[in-house]
Amino acid sequence: MKIITTSSIVHLLLFAIISTATAGGIRPDSFTLSGIVGGYSFDGKQHLETGPVIGIRGGYNFTKYFGVEALFDFVPTESTQASQDVQVYRYGGDLLLHLLPDSRLVPYLAAGYGGITVDRENQGTLTKGIFDYGPGLKYFLTDDLALRADLRHLVFRDNETLSNYEYTVGVTYQFGGKQTATQPVTEPEPEPVVTPAPIPEPALEPVPAAEPTPEKMKYCVSLDIEFDINKADIRPQYNDEVAKVGDFMKKYPTTTAVIEGYTDEVGSDEYNLQLSQRRAESVVKSLVDNFGIDPSRLSAKGYGKASPIADNATDAGKQKNRHINAIIDCALDVKELAPPPERLCISLKVEYATDSAEIQPRYYGEVNKVGDYMKKYPTTTAVIEGHTDNIGGAEHNMKLSLQRAENVVNYLVENFGIERSRLFAKGYGATRRIAYNNTPEGRQKNRRINAVIDCVIKK
């Protein structure tokens, strides 16, 4: 008889703990169906050869920690004392305790009771009650499909106590249950303590127009429009530049746009704000009059001499700073964008476990959007931005947000072959809020990953 040592069980459990990753897992209220194959070793006093075992399992998970499983096994074997075929049947049920239910690799313990029937050729059958216990592992390939491995010690009495061992591998299909993947990962509220009144959060700064949301990406276009000094009129030769926005918004009628105007540093701040506002409004008027875009889909914003993109010490630099940007909200699949814009900002709907930087498999599809886009347009580069809420220390949040961004970069390199030189990871911690952190909903909005993709446009 094969002996399964205690050290084998210990090594199996250690492997489970070391290999655990925060992905996949057990769903409460779910059902499972498994097929298994393996080997079955008998107590030497039974005088039966070790034989193959095939079986089926059907289970139900009350919670992500506790479940039950009904089982049926069949073992064809033969006697070690005579030329005699023997068929063994095992049936019953187990209670399951899942130790790391939210992981891709889920170790568990099982214990249960059932029956064993030994049918010896020409000798009739023997049926006894049998106890079983042992460890198991499930490795989730998807949210619904897992590989499994099990070891059971089976104990029963037939005039004396006998021990059998069963060791199997198989496939488990999980269906139904609560889809925890759609639930936002919220961080625990701090324990209430008697402390002085908290210092109110500073007022939110205006969210930049190019900041994406989970529902909409930002399609950013710079319009090469030169304005006469102190003028806001669009010269006819620049109608093709306005058409970049007009044609796109006509093609996609659900889009909206913010037209941003900028100036050089010549003149007072107040005058430049007014001038940049008039120039942005001129572009909006052209889009309405010449392309039939509904005014409700457009807004104009003048920023004056803020955020220069060139040195104002030269005439060429001043000309570059007198520019117009169009920030277009798109509820589109990135695959529809052809040709690519100069800049595309995407918010990836990736949620993380508390204090974790691992990307769970259910969110691979979000990251794949960036990988597919960058493979299609090999001149693109991207900055992957990680952001957190304000729970935890500032230094820790900076490191955590950078780790999350770096994991996205590593995923794109390893799974899409994107050259690492085209990708940059940046962690901002809690420094770029888009919502207040005093509610779970606000903190969830601030825990985000943005991909800012730049494309070299060949003109």
What pLDDT is stored for residue 271 in this prediction?
92
pLDDT at 327: 77
Check whether domain 217-330 has CATH 3.40.50.620, yes or no: no
Domain map (residue ranges) of the chain: 6-182, 217-330, 345-459
| Equal CATH topology for 6-182 and 217-330 | no
For the entire predicted model, the pTM comes to: 0.44
What does the alpha-carbon distance between residue 71 and residue 65 come to, in Å, rounded to a whole number? 19
At how many degrees (to 10) do helices 394-416 and 364-376 cross?
60
- Provide DSSP, 342-407: SEEEEEE-----TT--PPPGGGHHHHHHHHHHHHH-TTEEEEEEEE--SSS-HHHHHHHHHHHHHH
Buried/exposed 340-354: b ≥16 CB within 10 Å, e otherwise: bbebbbbbbebbbee
Looking at residue 241, the DSSP 8-state letter turns out to be H
Report whether CATH 3.30.565.10 matches the domain 6-182: no
% of residues, the chain, pLDDT over 70: 82
**Burial bucket for residue 324 (CB in 10 Å: 0-12, 13-18, 19+):** buried
For residue 332, what pLDDT is reported?
55
Residues of the chain with pLDDT below 70 are 1-24, 179-190, 192-200, 204-218, 330-342, 455-459
Question: Would you state the pLDDT for residue 198?
Answer: 52
Confidence at residue 175, expressed as pLDDT on a 0 to 100 scale: 92
Q: Is the dihedral of CA 418, 422, 427, 431 positive or negative?
A: negative
Query: What is residue 207's predicted lDDT score, i.e. its pLDDT?
Result: 53
- Residues with Cβ < 8 Å from 411, sequence gap 6 or more? 359, 364, 367, 371
Q: Cα separation of 347 and 184, whole Å? A: 16
pLDDT digits (tens, 9 = 90+) for 27-50: 999 999 999 999 999 999 999 999
Give the tens place of pLDDT for each residue, 143-180. 899 999 999 999 999 889 999 999 999 999 999 887 65
CATH for 345-459? 3.30.1330.60
pLDDT of residue 24: 67
